[in-house]
Amino acid sequence: MPSISNDNSHAKKNACPVCKKTSADDYKPFCSKRCADVDLNRWLTAGYTVPAAEDDSEGVELDEGNG
């Protein structure tokens, strides 16, 4: 029987945050390892310096010499 489904299963829920392409299962949420590396590099370079927030000081020390 003719059933009309309104749920948009075709909606692109998973898109590569780097190039906006369809993400691959092996490299979620990225489309490829290359984009995964690109995003990682952004974190290592641009997002390396985090704003000093001394709100929650629970004795957690970050070891900087582990890179």
**Interacting residues with Zn ion (CB under 5 A):** 16, 18-19, 21, 31, 35
For 25, counting Cβ atoms within 10 Å of its Cβ (0-12 exposed, 13-18 middle, 19+ buried), the class is exposed
In the complex, what is the shortest distance from the CB of residue 67 to Zn ion, in angstroms, rounded to a whole number?
A: 25
C-beta closer to Zn ion: residue 20 or 44: 20
Amino acid symbol at 36:
A
Q: Is 29 exposed, middle or buried (0-12, 13-18, 19+ CB in 10 A)?
A: middle
In angstroms, what is the minimal distance from the CB of 66 to Zn ion?
29
Closest distance to Zn ion from the beta carbon of 28 (Å): 11
